Amino acid sequence: MQTPTSRVLFKLAVIGALCATLSTAALSQTIRVFSGGSSQRPDLMRKLFDGFERVNPGVKIEIETGGQTAELQREYLGKVLNAKDSALDIFMIDITNPRLYQSKGWVEPLNQYLGRPEVVLADHLPVYRTTNVINGEIYAMPGFADAMFVYYRKDLLVKYNLREPRTWDQLAAAVKKIKAGEKANPNLQGLSIQGAPIEGTVCTFMLPIWSRGGDVADAAGRFKLDPALAQAGVEQWLKLVDDGVIAKNVSEIKTIDTVNDFKAGNVIFAINWGFAWDRFQNDADSKVKGMVDVMPMARSTETSKSATCIGGWQWAVSSFSKNKALAARLVSYMSTPASAKFLAVEGSLLPVFSATFTDPAYMAKVPWASGAGVIATFGRNRPVSARYGDVSDAIRSSTSAMLARKISTQQGVAELSAKLKPILQ
C-alpha cells in the first residue's frame, strides 16, 4: 500500500513528466541550485530534484547550500550575481527580496516561460501576487511559506488552568503564575523573542506597531512610520523585560537560541518561525514533544489587532543562467501543489497554497495546520523596497540597540526614522 509520501512523490513524477516538453538535446544539461541553509531543508529539496531528474532524462541538478540566515545568504548571492556569474541557474530568496533582486537585474522575468501572473499564481496565498509580481511580470515562484507564531507549552497552561492569552498583559500574568509554580526550573523564561541584529528582529520591531494600526511604509513602499507608535512598541518589550517575562539579554537572542531554549523545556511562550514546529516535535533532543501548541500573536490591548510577520522562500531564475527555459520549468515544478504538500508533510514547511492547509495528510502530520493557515493568510509583509537590505539593516541594528538599552527609545526611533526616510521615498 502506498504511503502519503510515496503518493505525493508519484504525483510529482506525473507533473514533472507533463512539464517535460523540451527536447532530449536541451535536457542534457546541468542545473546548479543554491538551496539555502538547513532551515530551508535542502535534504527535502534534494528529493524533489531527484523526482524532476527521473522524468527528465539527461538533466542533472547540483545543489549548493550555505548561510544560516537570510542576511548571509543575501550577501553571498549579491557577490555572485553582481559579478554576473552564470554558475548558479536558480536560487532561493527571502519573501522580502524579489524587488531588490529585480531592481539590480539579477532575476529573470518568468512570464514568457510560465504564463500570466493572474493565472500562474491564482491558487497561491494572496501575498505572493504582490511580492513576486513587479510591473506585471513574475520574478519569483513561491517555494514554501513561513510566518511567525507564538508557540507555547500547552501542558503548563493546562496544569495551571490557564487559557491562551489574547494580550501581552495577559501573557505576562500567565507567565507570573507558571513561574511561581515551576521554581524547580530557575532557567525558565516567560517569553523568548529575537533581539540580536538579525532579520527576525525586524519582525520584533514590526509586530507591536502593526498591532497598534501602524506601519513603517505604505503599500507603495513610502515612509509612514509614526514615532509614537514605534516607541510604544519597543517600550512594550522593555516592560516585559523589567517584569521578568523576557530575558535581560534579549538583545543577544537569535532565532536558533529561541528554538534551542524552547526545545530544552526552558521557555513557556516563544515567538518563532514555522520551521520550529518540526524541531520541537521531531528533534531527538527535544524535551517538549507532544507538549507544544501555537496561538495567534498577542495584541497590545483588547481592542487592537493581532498581526504576525509573514515570511517564506521563493525560487528565482538567474538573469545570467545559460539554461533559463529549463531552469524556469524546474522553478515551476518546485511551486506546484504536489511539491508544497510534500514539503508540508515531510518537513512541516508551511504550504504556499491555501488548499494544502486543509489536506487530510498534512493535518494528520501537523495538527495545528488549519490554525496556521489562518494566521499565515492574514500575515503582514515587511516593507517592500528595492533597497530592502538597507531597510533591514537600519531596523534590526536600531532595535537591538534599544533593547540593549544602549540608547533610549526616543533617540533610537528618531535615528531610525532619519535613516529610513531617504530610503523609503
The answer for residues whose C-beta is within 8 angstroms of residue 254's C-beta and 6 or more apart is 194, 196, 198, 200
397: phi then psi, degrees, rounded to nearest 5:
-70, -40
The answer for residues whose C-beta is within 8 angstroms of residue 355's C-beta and 6 or more apart is 123, 337
Strand runs labelled E in 74-170: 90-94, 133-134, 137-138, 141-153
Tens digit of pLDDT for each residue in 130-146?
Answer: 889 999 999 999 999 88
* In contact, 206 and 216? CB cutoff 8 Å: yes
Half-sphere exposure of 215 (CA within 13 A, CB side): 17
- What is residue 23's predicted lDDT score, i.e. its pLDDT? 42
- What is residue 71's predicted lDDT score, i.e. its pLDDT? 77
The answer for residues whose C-beta is within 8 angstroms of residue 365's C-beta and 6 or more apart is 4, 344, 345, 348
Domain boundaries, the chain: 4-139+311-377, 147-309+384-423
Q: Which three cell numbers stand for residue 425?
A: 521615498
Task: Point out the residues of the chain with pLDDT beneath 70.
Answer: 1-27, 369-378
Distance CA 326, CA 89 (A): 9
- What is residue 163's predicted lDDT score, i.e. its pLDDT? 96
- Strand partners of residue 167: 299
- Strand partners of residue 61: 31
Residue 170's CB: how many other CB atoms inside 10 A? 16
Distance CA 375, CA 125 (A): 12
Assigned CATH topology for domain 147-309+384-423: D-Maltodextrin-Binding Protein; domain 2 (3.40.190)
CATH superfamily of 4-139+311-377: Periplasmic binding protein-like II (3.40.190.10)
- What is residue 104's predicted lDDT score, i.e. its pLDDT? 93
> Which residue type is seen at 118?
E
